[in-house]
Amino acid sequence: MRKEILFLFVIVIVPTIIALDTGYCVTAEVSDISPTSIGIGAEFTVGVHIENCGDEMPEYVSFELLNPPTDITIKEPLIINISKLYYGSSERFITYHMKTTEDAQPGTHVIKTKLIYGGREFSITKNYEITFNVIGDKAELSIASLKTNPVLPREGETVELTLRIENTGDGTAKSVSVYADHPFQGLKQSFIGALDSDEDGPVVLTFIVDEAGEFEFPVTISYKDDFGDNKIKTMININILKKESNVGAIIFTILIIAIFGGGIYYFIKTKKSKDKIIHQLLKGENKLEREIKKSLRRK
């Protein structure tokens, strides 16, 4: 057992001590990330500075990217072997060409890296991190206007409620939907789709108002942007008037009937008067005719 422990000490511990005492030293440092503001679906470069900080020349040096995020694509190989650093303070530069995917998540991204260097009998590993931020565009949705058709809805009518949704943010709002939790029977949810920055779109909800009064109910706007799923809740009010009374219609109908009836009565009365006059004229004409005939006989 002691021999095994001694053997392990020889093959693991001793090379490390040798490496520390040989004067080998290599460092890696991020020298540049360009551009500094990285957007969604954008290309960028990461520069890594490799430097020999020791007195000896290592026989090999390699730099590796470990498990990069899935929303970052990298053109170069994940493991790059560095050409020999021939003297102290000699240096090399590595450039990685990267791109964020179209569905990349905004925020801080970290890529773990590993630097390995050494000689035939030993190797030294150093771990580093490449850190950068992905900037997303945020959408800001709100209700720009509200209108009903009819403008003054009454109890028992079918109402179209139109909500105009606008995006005042810098990002695009996707999968926009609006849910109005009104107390009536009818449509409560509608979908718009996508709204670009400074764009607006209508949502139309149709329902039957079966009660008069002033109603306040919540409206929820759901959408997605570069920062994920979002919900905005607000309250709206609509007024429903009482059902219109039929008294006016009844009075109007009575007036029409009265006018129509009066017209008929006047027509009949006028006709009878005309008939009487004609009859009297005819009667007088007959009497005159008889008188003329009598006068002619006497002659």
| One domain, residues 26 and 123 | yes
| One domain, residues 82 and 32 | yes
Strand (E) or helix (H) holding 69: none
Taking the complete model, does pTM exceed 0.85, yes or no?
A: no
For residue 152, what are the CA distances in angstroms to 160, 213, 244, 269?
A: 11, 12, 12, 48
| One domain, residues 95 and 6 | yes
Kindly tell me if the per-residue pLDDT of 156 is higher than 90. Answer: yes
Kindly tell me if the per-residue pLDDT of 153 is higher than 80. Answer: yes
Q: Which of 134, 165, 189 is the last residue of a domain?
A: 134
| One domain, residues 64 and 185 | no
Quick check: is 258 in a domain?
no
Quick check: is 298 in a domain?
no
| One domain, residues 25 and 47 | yes
**Could you tell me how far CA 42 lies from the centroid of its own chain?**
22
Quickly state the pLDDT bin for 117 (edges 50, 70, 90). very high
Kindly tell me if the per-residue pLDDT of 149 is higher than 70. Answer: yes
Dihedral angle of Cα 118, 120, 121, 125, to the nearest 10 degrees? 20
| One domain, residues 7 and 128 | yes
Q: Check residue 11 and give its pLDDT.
A: 34
Quick check: is 248 in a domain?
no
pLDDT tens per residue across span 41-75: 999 999 999 999 988 888 899 999 999 999 999 99
Residue 161 neighbours by CB distance under 10 Å: 24
Residue 176 neighbours by CB distance under 10 Å: 23
| One domain, residues 69 and 116 | yes
| One domain, residues 174 and 120 | no
Kindly tell me if the per-residue pLDDT of 191 is higher than 80. Answer: yes
Question: CA–CA separation, 215 vs 238, rounded Å?
Answer: 5
Quick check: is 249 in a domain?
no
Q: Check residue 87 and give its pLDDT.
A: 79
| One domain, residues 166 and 125 | no
Q: Check residue 15 and give its pLDDT.
A: 40
Quick check: is 259 in a domain?
no
Q: Which of 220, 240, 260 is the last residue of a domain?
A: 240
**Could you tell me how far CA 79 lies from the centroid of its own chain?**
41
| One domain, residues 36 and 82 | yes
Q: Check residue 1 and give its pLDDT.
A: 41
In the sheet that 60-66 helps form, which strands lie side by side, from edge to edge? 79-82, 60-66, 107-118, 123-134
Kindly tell me if the per-residue pLDDT of 252 is higher than 90. Answer: no
Quick check: is 273 in a domain?
no
Quick check: is 266 in a domain?
no
Kindly tell me if the per-residue pLDDT of 176 is higher than 60. Answer: yes
Range of the domain at 215: 141-240
* Nearest partner of 15 among 127, 126, 88, 120, judged by Cα: 120
**Could you tell me how far CA 69 lies from the centroid of its own chain?**
27
| One domain, residues 104 and 206 | no
| C-alpha torsion sign, points 145, 150, 152, 156 | negative
| One domain, residues 161 and 229 | yes
More confidently predicted of 263 and 10: 263
Quick check: is 251 in a domain?
no
Q: Which of 134, 162, 194 is the last residue of a domain?
A: 134
Kindly tell me if the per-residue pLDDT of 234 is higher than 60. Answer: yes
Query: For residue 82, what is the domain's CATH number?
Result: 2.60.40.10
For residue 66, what are the CA distances in angstroms to 63, 114, 175?
A: 10, 7, 35
Q: Total structural domains in the chain?
A: 2
Quickly state the pLDDT bin for 14 (edges 50, 70, 90). very low
Question: CA–CA separation, 107 vs 17, rounded Å?
Answer: 41
Q: Check residue 18 and give its pLDDT.
A: 42
